[in-house]
Structure 1
Amino acid sequence: MDTVEDIVIVGAGFAGLATALGLHRKGVKSLVLESSPAMRTTGFAFTIWTNAWRALDALGVGDKVRDHHLLLESITFLSATSGDISAKVDLDKTQRKIGMHELRCVQRDFLLETLAAELPKDTIRFSSKIVLIQEDGNLKLLHLADGSIIKAKVLIGCDGINSVVAKYLGLEKPLFSGRCATRGISEHPTGHGFKHDYLNINGGGFRYGFLPCSEKNIYWFFTWCPSENGAEKVDESIQKMREFVLKILTASKVPREIIEVIERSEMSEVVSSPLRYRSPISLLFGNITKRNVCVIGDALHPMTPDLGQGGCTSLEDGVILSRYLADAVHDGNVEVGLEKFERDRRWRCANVVAKSYITGFIQQSSNWFVSFLREKLLAGIMARDLLNVSDYDCGKL
């Protein structure tokens, strides 16, 4: 028998759970459909900047996450070709418009579990993959892989880069940036002893990031251009990928203790992934919403990771959408609420996606002229951009 739900959220990632929790805090019930049989934890960790902490505080879970993750004190840019520091920012001495900056590297599974734990037990339905979306008057018919059908009065797509809901809205497919990424995390039971510093090593055709999550584990990521680094078939196994990353870093001016972290790391089963983004033009002029349907998070604004804003802007989305949508539900006009969300997010998302792409190109380029400008001038500008883009307040619920 078909069921009817007031609000259906597709995807139990950051955006989906943040939206569901925001609605719950506002007294509005929703159903979250997740295609996987359990919570997805791939990716290990990600950076949470100031803007995302404001979102988590608005949702009432900020301190629960803070208590388990280190506050990072600085950001350092290091040249891969010379080994010199090209820029450094002390976060405890750098103010934003509404206070001090806050940066922590948060483990993905911990954040997802924290958000999910705040929701009523029947909110998330696993093993629920949508294969087709149809219309039935004002309702959306969601055909699931198991043959069941759910009728949704409001449909929110938080289903990632290959979003079924984004396809339904007619948004253009995300574009390949020409770069790939791999990630890992190293465990140090007796403590790693590294400074509370976000280290960026750039140039030579790759980008490497190194962030302590706690005193006992470190998250790292490595991005590269396959066409420039002879990376054919390195993603066939974890061992080949590890050897590839170590080979490039060893040939560069990377401190030995940093390389040793990778040697002892656990790496993702998803050995590498292409970095994709949605065209800012598509974000400015495409359908973000249509009547009682909208997309948020990676379904709306997939971006390269160079500003560390993919998860952060998804949390912003969740707070802003749940605020507008809950108020609209109480007023009896959902479309108005979704239109407010669309107006609020178009320029913000397009701006962050564009800056992320440009920053990644500059950081990773092996072109001699770009490298010269990066190390002499642009590194400082990029460091400030990391802070400026996070100087954003999504507001309260």
Structure 2
Amino acid sequence: MSIEKLASNMQQKEAGEDVVVVVGAGIAGLAAALGLHRKGVMCSVLESSPELRASGFAIATWRNALQALDALGVGDKIRKLHLQLQELRVFSSSTGEIVQETDLKMQGKRGPNEMRCVRRDWLLRALEEELPKGTIRYSSKIVAIEEDGNAKILHLADGAILRAKVLIGCDGVNSVVAKWLGLAKPSSSGRLATRGLAHYPDGHVFEPRFQMFVGHGFRAGVIPCNETDVYWFFTWSPSEHDSNGVDQNAAKMKQFVLAKLRSSKIPPEMLEVVERSEMNDVLAAPLRFRPPLSLLLASISKGNVCVAGDALHPMTPDLGQGGCAALEDGVVLARCLGDALLGESPAGGAADSERIEAGLREYARIRRWRSVELVGTAYVVGFVQQSNNAVISFLRDNWLAGVLTRRLLKMADYDCGAL
């Protein structure tokens, strides 16, 4: 036997069989891990990066996400660090006029709405801090998955081998676990997005208000996170003229966005936010989504394997629900799987595996229709808001703006339940 093979076998023996292995330490992965920890179920989280990744800077966090964070026990920690937004103002990028004003605290079926723009790095850190030390294993990338009875054998890039009694894929839009399950490859929306975070050490002048600009071929927004940080986003459909290497250079990308905004009726304070902001390592990300019809037929779970977060429902950001849905996934998955693992059952592996499979099927049943609705609605909202078509622009500015805003609030008026 070779030294490499012997070392690999020793790693497998030392690892033993994990009750649960979560792949990916993003929002969904950490939420699922923390939910299982709260339920009393130990798990390991495999993260391919050497540290927590906070790409995207911030996420819109609506009422449904904050309720999920409450279920995980970190809701108040997040609220203390971020402003509650009071109002949504939607502007026409072509005219500069307000086409819709909405109270973001308005009453829904399940109570008043609540929205905050949450720094992604602070959210991930808040979730990580609640997990037992050593739960997350960094620089651990899965390259292959094999079956061994009811267990899954995970081969890592560093040569390590792990056995998993349950495998949860929270490994993003290019998920290895989703591919193993046979889920359809995410489709391109034909749009790109860039984002930034502006820091004002002495405080900014923005009211706790979500300002969004739609039409003229793009969709943009400015949202204060707290007293010193302001988040912005910009989505557009690229043309041949846009491909001049702007996505390879932060300065070029910033000037590209500023040029697009200056060609429209955009207030100078938004231009300043972009000018003084940090740019992400990923300067221009393609917006992809999993077609809703494929989600209706997809195997969200199979045996003791399932997916959550972007591995399940990649969507365009037009509802601000991608991260929110990932938090919902984490709570529902922890509840369903935790109940299955901790429930009483006759002795024997077969009975345990059946309970796990039933728990994951229940999770898939709950999340399937919610995912379909979110992905489909986000795509339609983005198409209408960004369109430069004269007819769509007229309908949007004079009628559809209110309809679209109500859809935003309706999607947030959802309760994933307790652990």
TM over 0.5: yes
Q: Which residue of 1 aligns with 2:325?
A: 313
SS in 2 for 1:348: helix
Q: Distance in 2 between matches of 1:328 and 1:339?
A: 11
Q: Distance in 2 between matches of 1:166 and 1:278?
A: 11
SS in 2 for 1:53: helix
Q: Are 1:385 and 2:418 an aligned pair? A: no
Which blocks of at least 5 consecutive residues in structure 1 are unaligned?
A: none
Q: Which residue of 2 aligns with 1:136?
A: 148
Q: Distance in 1 between matches of 2:243 and 2:399?
A: 30
Which blocks of at least 5 consecutive residues in structure 2 are unaligned?
A: 1-9, 344-351
Q: Which residue of 2 aligns with 1:301?
A: 313
Q: TM-score, normalised by structure 2?
A: 0.93
Give 1:152's match in structure 2, choosing from 149, 157, 164. Answer: 164
Q: Are 1:224 and 2:246 an aligned pair? A: no
How many residues in Structure 1 have an aligned counterpart in Structure 2?
Answer: 396
Q: Which residue of 2 aligns with 1:202?
A: 214
Q: Are 1:49 and 2:62 an aligned pair? A: yes
Q: Are 1:215 and 2:218 an aligned pair? A: no
Q: Distance in 2 between matches of 1:131 and 1:154?
A: 17
Query: After superposition, what is the alpha-carbon deviation per residue over 1:110-162, rounded to whole angstroms, capped at 9, x for unaligned?
Result: 00000000000021000000000111111111000011110101000000000
Q: Which residue of 2 aligns with 1:361?
A: 383
Deviation for aligned residue 1:231: 4.0
Query: Is this contact kept in 2: 1:226–1:232, CA < 8 A?
Result: no
Deviation for aligned residue 1:227: 2.2
Q: Distance in 2 between matches of 1:379 and 1:99?
A: 23
Q: Distance in 2 between matches of 1:287 and 1:233?
A: 39
Q: Distance in 2 between matches of 1:231 and 1:66?
A: 40
Q: Which residue of 2 aligns with 1:344?
A: 366
Q: Which residue of 1 aligns with 2:253?
A: 241
1:176-187 equivalences under 5 Å are 176-187=188-199
Q: Distance in 2 between matches of 1:219 and 1:371?
A: 26
Query: After superposition, what is the alpha-carbon deviation per residue over 1:85-114, rounded to whole angstroms, capped at 9, x for unaligned?
Result: 01010123x101121110000000000000
Residue identity opposite 2:98 in structure 1: I
Deviation for aligned residue 1:41: 1.3
SS in 2 for 1:378: helix
Point out 4+ residue stretches in structure 1 off by more than 4 angstroms: none
SS in 2 for 1:226: coil
Q: Distance in 2 between matches of 1:388 and 1:342?
A: 22
Q: Which residue of 2 aligns with 1:104?
A: 116
Query: Is this contact kept in 2: 1:210–1:218, CA < 8 A?
Result: yes
SS in 2 for 1:275: strand
Query: After superposition, what is the alpha-carbon deviation per residue over 1:340-396, rounded to whole angstroms, capped at 9, x for unaligned?
Result: 001111111001000000000000001111101100110001111110001000011
Query: After superposition, what is the alpha-carbon deviation per residue over 1:174-217, rounded to whole angstroms, capped at 9, x for unaligned?
Result: 00100000000101111111111101100011000110001111
Q: Which residue of 2 aligns with 1:5?
A: 18
Which segment drifts farther, 221-230 or 351-360? 221-230
Q: Percent identity?
A: 58
Query: After superposition, what is the alpha-carbon deviation per residue over 1:298-333, rounded to whole angstroms, capped at 9, x for unaligned?
Result: 000000000000000000000000000000002231
Q: Distance in 1 between matches of 2:243 and 2:204?
A: 30
Which structure has the greater CA radius of gyration? 2
Query: Is this contact kept in 2: 1:205–1:229, CA < 8 A?
Result: no
Deviation for aligned residue 1:232: 3.7
1:241-320 equivalences under 5 Å are 241-320=253-332
